[in-house]
Chains A and B, each alone.
Chain A
Amino acid sequence: MKTLKALILTGGKSSRMGQDKASLEIGGITQLDRILSIIQPLTEHLFLSVGHGDIHPRDHPTLPDLEPRPGPLGGLQAAFHHDPQALWLLIACDLPLIKHSDLQNLIEHHDQNTDATCFLNPLDQHPEPLCAIYSPTASQKLDELIEKNQRCARRFLASLNRTDLKPSSSKSLLNLNRPEHLNELEHLHQHGVIEKELTVEYFAKLSQEADTDSENIRSSAATLAGLWEELRLKHHFSLDLPHIKPAINNEFADWTTPLSNHQTIAFMPPFAGG
């Protein structure tokens, strides 16, 4: 049995979020402390991924990137450089709804004959690269990819021989990319996950991409931004939040507005009258 080691991607300043995601607090605990608390019972070999040349002391051992700005795959590369024989659990710190049981599930189902064990995101059915266990066999494929200067973590994982699992809830892999998502998570934290029945209307390009003008859905999103994120992934919309105008019951609304049961939500792409 190979040793399981964990590498936590602490990110750094996020341009869309406007601040460092590791230090974001939800419910009085930072994202980094929350992830640490669920990983510590699983392995004593725990490392923080930090930037190239970063020798700043932390509360846990660090693994600096081997080169400047290599993207998230650079963290995994540094991990295999540190120990090529370990199983590496690679995890982003901005997964505020991931549970200890999800990680336990990854560990229990990891098959050492496959390159990786990961979750399929229930919202879009894509394998999630930043919450996965990588076998030493993945290391060689990673080096080949980086050699070709390809840095897309999703594409890397998609190319591996994998064991795919289902996370404990549809929201387990929700990540924090925008301030509106932080607001969504604060709502979920304060009021709990409440399922609602909603009617969603799409206009113009969005109705074409969703292949419908409207649909009745059940969602446990707390705010407009959370609902948009679910539907954006479901329908693979080509536009994201800054370009969309939402409305609730025929009134324009702010992305941070909480949702209630039986509302009609409209999502509108940029207007093009005249």
Chain B
Amino acid sequence: MFSIQATPIDLAALRQNMADPSCGALVIFEGLVRNHHEGQEVEKLHYTHHPVLAQKEGERIIAEILTKYPMVKARAIHRVGTLQIGECAVITLTSSAHREAAFEANRLLIDSIKAHVPIWKQESYTNGKVEWTSPCPNCGPVPHTH
């Protein structure tokens, strides 16, 4: 399941929803708002999205994950609106009987969301500047480490 919401993410509730007696592994990735970007001090972020296409793409990615990893359960939420430093902007949860598939599926899930879901981020810096952030030039279909 994929969703987009303007309200804070309730991690405890999500964790509970993912609970499954057959799963021995639950991998949770949280993308958090950090206080710096390319040397500038960030004050807050504002996320916007294409409502129809973002939902459609997110659902397509989840379906793709479930096809590729049939034994995995997957769930992802992306926030929109204004977020403060430290808030969770995106969360991906994957569970499976053993940790390997859950780790792999989670990595693919978050990378695919970043590459394919029409969501944009506007950063407000402490010096008063506001900028639309360009994705990292290395971002794309090839997974990489930030």
| B132 and A274 within 8 A (CB) | no
**How far is B52's CA from A245's CA once the two chains are assembled, in angstroms?**
15
Contact with A along B108-146 (1 / 0, CB 8 A): 001001111111111000000000111100000000000
Q: Which of A258-274 contact B (CB under 8 A)?
A: 266, 268-274
- Quick one: which of A201, A247, A250, A272 contacts B132, CB cutoff 8 A? A272
- Quick one: which of B48, B56, B135 contacts A203, CB cutoff 8 A? B48
A170 contacts the other chain (Cβ, under 8 Å)? Answer: no
B75 contacts the other chain (Cβ, under 8 Å)? Answer: no
| A268 and B118 within 8 A (CB) | yes
| B53 and A274 within 8 A (CB) | no
- What residue in chain B is nearest A243 (Cβ atoms)? B134
**How far is B78's CA from A272's CA once the two chains are assembled, in angstroms?**
12
A contact residues, total (Cβ < 8 Å): 17
| B31 and A205 within 8 A (CB) | no
B89 contacts the other chain (Cβ, under 8 Å)? Answer: yes
| B31 and A269 within 8 A (CB) | no
User: Closest approach, in angstroms, between the C-beta of B25 and any C-beta of chain A?
Assistant: 23
Q: Which of B87-101 contact A (CB under 8 A)?
A: 89-90
| A273 and B121 within 8 A (CB) | yes
A208 contacts the other chain (Cβ, under 8 Å)? Answer: yes
| A273 and B52 within 8 A (CB) | no
User: Closest approach, in angstroms, between the C-beta of A214 and any C-beta of chain B?
Assistant: 12
By a CB distance below 8 angstroms, the chain A residues around B113 are 273-274
| A252 and B53 within 8 A (CB) | yes
**How far is B53's CA from A201's CA once the two chains are assembled, in angstroms?**
13
- What residue in chain B is nearest A207 (Cβ atoms)? B48
By a CB distance below 8 angstroms, the chain B residues around A152 are none
- Quick one: which of A201, A247, A273 contacts B120, CB cutoff 8 A? A273
By a CB distance below 8 angstroms, the chain B residues around A194 are none
B50 contacts the other chain (Cβ, under 8 Å)? Answer: yes
| B31 and A272 within 8 A (CB) | no
A204-B132, A205-B132, A208-B132 given; A271·B118 CB < 8 A = yes
Q: Tell me the number of A-to-B contacts counted with CB atoms below 8 Å.
A: 62
**How far is B114's CA from A271's CA once the two chains are assembled, in angstroms?**
7
**How far is B118's CA from A250's CA once the two chains are assembled, in angstroms?**
12
User: Closest approach, in angstroms, between the C-beta of A237 and any C-beta of chain B?
Assistant: 13
By a CB distance below 8 angstroms, the chain B residues around A266 are 50, 53
B47 contacts the other chain (Cβ, under 8 Å)? Answer: yes
Contact with A along B13-42 (1 / 0, CB 8 A): 000000000000000000100000000000
By a CB distance below 8 angstroms, the chain B residues around A272 are 119-121, 132-135
- Quick one: which of B53, B56, B117 contacts A273, CB cutoff 8 A? B117
**How far is B89's CA from A252's CA once the two chains are assembled, in angstroms?**
25
Q: Which of B72-91 contact A (CB under 8 A)?
A: 78, 89-90
By a CB distance below 8 angstroms, the chain B residues around A274 are 31, 78, 89-90, 110, 113-114, 119
User: Closest approach, in angstroms, between the C-beta of A48 and any C-beta of chain B?
Assistant: 41
User: Closest approach, in angstroms, between the C-beta of A211 and any C-beta of chain B?
Assistant: 14
5 contacts between A and B (CB under 8 A): A201-B50, A245-B118, A268-B53, A271-B120, A272-B119
A interface residue numbers (CB < 8 A to B): 201, 203-205, 208, 245, 247, 250, 252, 266, 268-274
Shortest beta-carbon contacts, A-B, top 6: A273-B119, A204-B120, A274-B114, A205-B132, A250-B52, A272-B121
